[in-house]
Chains A and B, each alone.
Chain A
Amino acid sequence: MKPENKKRLMIFIWSLVGVGVVAGLYLYAGKEPFIRTTLSGLTLGSLFFMVAAGLTLIFGLMDVLNFAHGAMFMLGAYMGWQLYTNPTFIFGMLPALLAFSTGIMMTSVIKPYLIRWEISSKWQNFLPKAAYFLALVIGVVAFWGFDILQLANTAMVAATTTTAGNPLAEISAQEPFVQFWYRPLLLLLSGLLVAFASSKPGVKTEFAPLDEMKSKLVLPIVLFGLTILSIIIRESAPVAILLMNGNWRFVISIIVAIAFGFLFGAIVEITLIRPLYVRSFFIVLMTLGLSFVIQELVQLLWDPLAYQMVRPPLFAQPGKAANLMEWLRNGSSTIDVFGVTFPTYRLFVILLGVVMFVFITLLMTKTRLGMIIRAGVQDPQMVEALGINVKRVFTFVFALGVAMAALGGIGAGPFLPIQPAMGEQYQMQGFITVVIGGMGSYVGAFVGAFLLGMGRAFGDYFALKLSLSPAIAEASTVIIMIIVLLIRPQGIFGKKE
Chain B
Amino acid sequence: MSQTPLKTKKPFFLRFKDERILLILFALMLAFPFVMNLITGSGLNDGITKFWQGQLIIFFIMAVFAMSYDLLIGFGGILSFGHAASFGGGAYTFALLMEHWAPNFIGKYRILIGSLDITEGIVLLIVFLAVVLVSILIGLLFSATSIRLKGAYFAMLTLALGTAMFILVKATDFHEWTGADEGLHGVYVPDWINPTQNRLTIYLISLVFLVVCYLVMKRMVNSPTGRVIIANRENEDRMRMIGYNPVLYRTIAFVSASFFAGLAGALYSIWNTSATPTMVSAVTTVNALIMTILGGMGTLVGPILGAAIMQTISQFFYTWFGARWPLVFGVLFILIVMFLPYGIIGTWRMKRNDIKGGWQKLLRLLSKKEDL
- Report if A and B touch in the complex (beta carbons < 8 A): yes
Residues of chain A at the chain B interface (Cβ within 8 Å): 59, 63, 65, 272, 275-276, 279, 281-282, 284-286, 288-290, 292-293, 296-297, 299-300, 428, 431-432, 434-435, 439, 468-469, 471-472, 474-475, 477-479, 481-482, 485, 489
25 residue pairs bridging A and B, Cβ less than 8 Å apart: A65-B152, A65-B155, A276-B338, A284-B79, A284-B155, A286-B338, A289-B333, A289-B337, A292-B326, A296-B326, A296-B327, A296-B330, A297-B327, A432-B160, A435-B160, A468-B173, A471-B168, A477-B160, A478-B160, A478-B161, A478-B164, A481-B157, A481-B160, A485-B157, A489-B148
Q: Any chain A CB within 8 A of the CB of B171?
A: yes
- B173 with A471: CB separation less than 8 A: yes
Separation in Å of the A288 CB from the closest CB of chain B?
Answer: 7
Between B149, B164, B333, the greatest number of chain A beta carbons within 10 A of the residue's beta carbon is seen for B164
- A293 with B160: CB separation less than 8 A: no
Known contacts: A281-B79, A282-B337. The answer to whether A431 contacts B159 by CB under 8 A is: yes
- B79 with A63: CB separation less than 8 A: no
- A489 with B149: CB separation less than 8 A: yes
A270 vs B290: C-alpha distance in the bound complex, in angstroms? 24
A468 vs B164: C-alpha distance in the bound complex, in angstroms? 16
The residue on B at minimum CB distance from A293 is: B330
- A472 with B171: CB separation less than 8 A: yes
- B153 with A435: CB separation less than 8 A: yes
A286 vs B290: C-alpha distance in the bound complex, in angstroms? 11
The residue on B at minimum CB distance from A283 is: B337
Known contacts: A286-B338, A428-B159. The answer to whether A296 contacts B172 by CB under 8 A is: no
- B327 with A293: CB separation less than 8 A: yes
- A482 with B286: CB separation less than 8 A: no
A76 vs B289: C-alpha distance in the bound complex, in angstroms? 28
Known contacts: A285-B293, A292-B333. The answer to whether A300 contacts B152 by CB under 8 A is: no
- B163 with A428: CB separation less than 8 A: yes
Known contacts: A289-B330, A292-B326, A469-B173. The answer to whether A475 contacts B168 by CB under 8 A is: yes
Separation in Å of the A283 CB from the closest CB of chain B?
Answer: 9
A474 vs B164: C-alpha distance in the bound complex, in angstroms? 8
B327 — which chain A residues lie within 8 A by C-beta? 293, 296-297, 300
B167 — which chain A residues lie within 8 A by C-beta? 471, 474-475
A134 vs B334: C-alpha distance in the bound complex, in angstroms? 21
B83 — which chain A residues lie within 8 A by C-beta? none
- B153 with A300: CB separation less than 8 A: no
- B157 with A286: CB separation less than 8 A: no
Q: Any chain A CB within 8 A of the CB of B331?
A: yes
List 5 extra interface pairs beyond A288-B286, A431-B160, CB under 8 A: A285-B337, A289-B330, A296-B326, A432-B156, A478-B160
A119 vs B277: C-alpha distance in the bound complex, in angstroms? 60
Select which of B148, B168, B324 is within 8 A of A300 by beta carbon: B324
- A431 with B171: CB separation less than 8 A: no
- B153 with A471: CB separation less than 8 A: no
A435 vs B146: C-alpha distance in the bound complex, in angstroms? 12
The 10 tightest CB contacts between A and B, nearest first, are A296-B327, A471-B171, A293-B330, A478-B164, A292-B330, A289-B333, A475-B164, A469-B172, A289-B334, A475-B167
